[in-house]
Chain A
Amino acid sequence: MVKMMIKIRHSRCTECQICMEICCWRHFGENTTKRSRIRVEVDWPEAPVISVCLACKDHECVAACPTAALAWDRWIRLDKDRCDGCGQCAEACPVNGIHLDSHTRLPLICDTCEGEFQCVQWCPTRAIERMKR
């Protein structure tokens, strides 16, 4: 099976946040951008920076987790029952791709929508694309 991951081209990003909207919609069925696994951060007038789990090979978040709540199986998977919301995974992430849910304190980590990559499908400028690992 071909492994896919997200490729980012920051310069194409227009800061529209559609990726964040569709991410929250897909995972929580809500219209918001605040619980997104992908983030667009802007320091106007600088260009936006997209941060999301890039499925790196080292899995530093998995190693950093003190309660063994994270595991790798095609994407980072979270065992909610084990997670105590300490946030050490977010700190360990080298690409700032993990954010904590302000409602539940659980880490929000890209699960590629189980291979559907909704953000890639909705991005109007192809600032995020799917690529083979």
Chain B
Amino acid sequence: MSNKLGGYAGKVLDVDLGKETIREFSLDPELAGKYMGGKGFGAKILFEQLPARCPPLSPENILVFAAGPLTGTLTPASGRFEVCTKSPATGLWLDANCGGFFGPELKYAGFDMIIVRGRAAGPVMLVIDDDRVHLKPVPELWGLDTIATHRRIKDDYGKEFRVACIGPAGERGALIAGIISEYRALGRGGAGAVMGSKNLKALAVRGTGGIAIHDPERFMIMCREAYNELAIHPDTGGGRQKYGTNVILSCMDDAGIHPVRNFQKGKFDGTRQINEETLRALYVRDRACFGCPIYCSKIAEVKEGNYKGSFTEGLDYENVWAFGAQCDNADIGSIVEAEYLCDLYGIDAVSTGNVIGFLMECVEKGVLTEADIGFPLRFGNAEGIIRAIHLIGKREGPGALWGEGVKRIAERVKGAAEFAMHVKGLELPAYDPRGSTGMALAYATSDRGGCHLRSWPVGEELLSAEQRMDPFSDEFKAEFVKNQQDLFCMINSLGICLFATFAMNLKQIVPLLHAATGMEAFADAKAILKIGERVNNLVRLFNLREGLTREQDTLPKRFFRERLKEGRSRDRVADLGQLMKDYYFVRGWDADGIPTEKTLKELGIYQDNGGQ
């Protein structure tokens, strides 16, 4: 193909499961120039093609799997791809990002994006073997857990096939169900439930092609420089390799923003039992995503205690927190087992830990009794955690409701809404916003709800060597969060990992991207951030259309009312008043959080919709 862009694979796959049609067309270079890839592609497609207010679990919902221009290339940490859809948990925008090997394989098969529509009559799998694409009925896979599904597909088709699938929780429509790909998760927001509602059990991809580069010589030199940069950085070349993402655990605890007992406290008494050093003793070996020198994923095995022999891959900071401090549980073995079970059933570990911690507080406050739950589920009860996960994963008994997430449980349990910790319906990750004004704003303004991956100000507030920002001050936080949201949006759309940005900044990424694609639209950093801003504004318009109001750009009540009692963030409460005003202002949105006509015009969004 003469007009093929460097970096991109060049084709898009459009699959209608209901009509059983598979269409293939070439990637529009204009779409690539304006929206980059990944989240950008998803935003454009969902905004234009998803019927307004369609129920997320209906056949009309669209599921977009999209890689970026750097996915699968020599760029370090380039194994990422995105899934975008309308979230059944929040009823709003959802994009989830995942590493591993699925994204690169998809590009080697020749595709930048798969758009999935409709609902299949029975369980199906989408098989992509280079340009041979078909839908295969797979009743035999339905009901299998994710690990068995991976094994079965690899045994039947070949080890080279890369898989993304759902577990029993996704099949049964648990709203906290994720998609598991090569033992990694596109966890948050319920993408697994959407896939389950479409009767799409799995995708299997094999590709034997390659990705062409516009300026190979320059590209190669820049990649080597990027690898060197990652290798000498204290985080990506040191701490993260050694401890995985748990490298920040003690820092967060010291800062008093390591949430304990469903965000009642900011400092965990059990940190000494489950800090990065004790966790490290469980690591058997390191595992990396495609092309990644950071290898932050750890295979961990429990060597003693009740859960001896349990193992899991990942053991991430968020997950250790979700089943550790969040549930006031310092039994390290149960944390490993819990994470393994979440992957097995295909549920999001962060949301699951939140749900269990929330239920524990319900019992503590007396709004739920043990009879309601069926077994002892108090803070610190490791066995209870495991039993609850089994029920959620299988959607059995009370687990059916629990799998809908904190927001929906709180709607059914009287008196529980006061301590339901979620933003827009998505449960919160492991940073207490009372000790970090940046994080408070990042949670409140995140497009998919309670999420730390749209912007992660704690990096600059608490972990930066230069301690550049005061975690308790409002100053510059609005600008910072806005810019970082635009940057992270672009990193996710590029197909590289956010962790790589600890060592690589836009000064390196932009020339690298330009050498790879040869596109003038990607020639300077300002242009890239502009694309990020365009995508984020488009997502905002999407969310507003789906019924988002400014009242939802906020935090759970607890953060405004209850002061932290211990740690460095003692006596702090969250205050969003000035921050939100500043944020809407720097975004160019009006007082109701709606992008002004001027802002949209500047970003070229109106012209995109046929000049309305």
Q: Measuring CB to CB, which residues of chain A are less than 8 angstroms from any residue of chain B?
A: 11, 14-18, 21-22, 24-25, 28-35, 41-45, 47, 102-103, 122, 124-125
Contact = CB atoms under 8 A, between A and B. Distances in A.
Closest 8 CB pairs of A and B: A30-B210, A124-B293, A32-B210, A16-B288, A31-B211, A14-B288, A14-B295, A31-B73
B285 A47 contact: yes
Contacts of B216: 29
Interface residues on B, range: 20 to 34
Contacts of A11: 285
Nearest to A101: B208
Contacts of B171: none
Nearest to A18: B291
Contacts of B288: 14-16
Contacts, number: 75
Interface in B193-251: 207-213, 216, 220, 227, 231
B289 interface: yes
Contacts of A41: 159
Contacts of B285: 11, 14, 47
Q: Which label, helix, strand, loop or mixed, suits the secondary structure of the B interface? A: loop
Interface in B71-85: 72-74
Given A16-B288, A125-B295, 9 more contacts: A14-B287, A14-B288, A16-B293, A18-B292, A30-B210, A32-B208, A35-B210, A44-B182, A124-B293
Contacts of B289: 16
B72 A43 contact: no
Contact of B108 (A22, A34, A47): A34
A41 B216 CA distance: 28
A102 to B, nearest CB: 5
A32 B209 contact: yes
Nearest to A28: B210
A15 B182 CA distance: 12
Q: Which label, helix, strand, loop or mixed, suits the secondary structure of the A interface? A: loop
B291 A124 contact: no
Contact of B212 (A15, A30, A43): A30
Nearest to A22: B74
B95 interface: no
Contact of A32 (B108, B183, B295): B108
Q: Which of A33, A41, A47 has the most CB of B within 10 A?
A: A33
A42 B161 CA distance: 12
Contact of A125 (B150, B220, B286, B291): B286
B295 A34 contact: no
Nearest to A30: B210
A102 B206 CA distance: 13
A16 B211 contact: no
Interface in B257-296: 285-293, 295
A31 B214 CA distance: 12
Contacts of B220: 25
Contacts of A16: 288-293, 295
Nearest to A26: B220
Nearest to B297: A14
A124 B313 CA distance: 20
A121 B295 CA distance: 17
Nearest to B216: A29
A103 B108 CA distance: 13
A11 B42 CA distance: 39
A17 B159 CA distance: 15
5 contacts: A16-B290, A16-B295, A17-B290, A29-B213, A102-B208
Contacts of A102: 208
B72 A31 contact: yes
A40 B51 CA distance: 45
B159 to A, nearest CB: 7
A78 B213 CA distance: 28
B311 interface: yes
B227 A21 contact: no
Contacts of B463: none
Q: Which of A14, A18, A43, A103 has the most CB of B within 10 A?
A: A14
B344 to A, nearest CB: 13
A70 B346 CA distance: 50
A11 B150 CA distance: 23
B299 interface: yes
B343 to A, nearest CB: 11
A44 B183 contact: yes
A34 B290 contact: no
Given A16-B290, A47-B285, A34 B208 contact: yes
A14 B293 CA distance: 9
A12 to B, nearest CB: 9
A25 B216 CA distance: 9
Contacts of A28: 210
B286 A21 contact: no
Contact of A103 (B72, B183, B208): B208
Nearest to A124: B293
A42 B101 CA distance: 12
Q: Which of A24, A32, A43, A47 has the most CB of B within 10 A?
A: A32
Interface string B48-81: 0000000000000000000000001110000000
Contacts of B212: 30-31
Contacts of A25: 74, 220
Contacts of B72: 31-32
Contacts of B73: 31
A34 B285 CA distance: 25
B313 A45 contact: yes
Contact of B227 (A15, A43, A122, A125): A122
Given A41-B159, A124-B231, A31 B210 contact: yes
A29 B208 CA distance: 15
A31 B311 CA distance: 34
A99 B210 CA distance: 17
Contacts of A125: 286, 295
A17 B291 contact: yes
Q: Which of B72, B208, B313 has the most CB of A within 10 A?
A: B208
Given A30-B210, A30-B212, A34-B108, A43 B291 contact: no
A55 B227 CA distance: 29
A25 B104 CA distance: 15
B233 to A, nearest CB: 13
Nearest to A16: B288
Contacts of B101: 17
A116 B35 CA distance: 39
A14 B313 CA distance: 12
A125 B294 CA distance: 10
A21 B295 contact: no
Nearest to A123: B293
Given A45-B299, A124-B227, A14 B108 contact: no
Given A14-B287, A31-B74, A124 B295 contact: yes
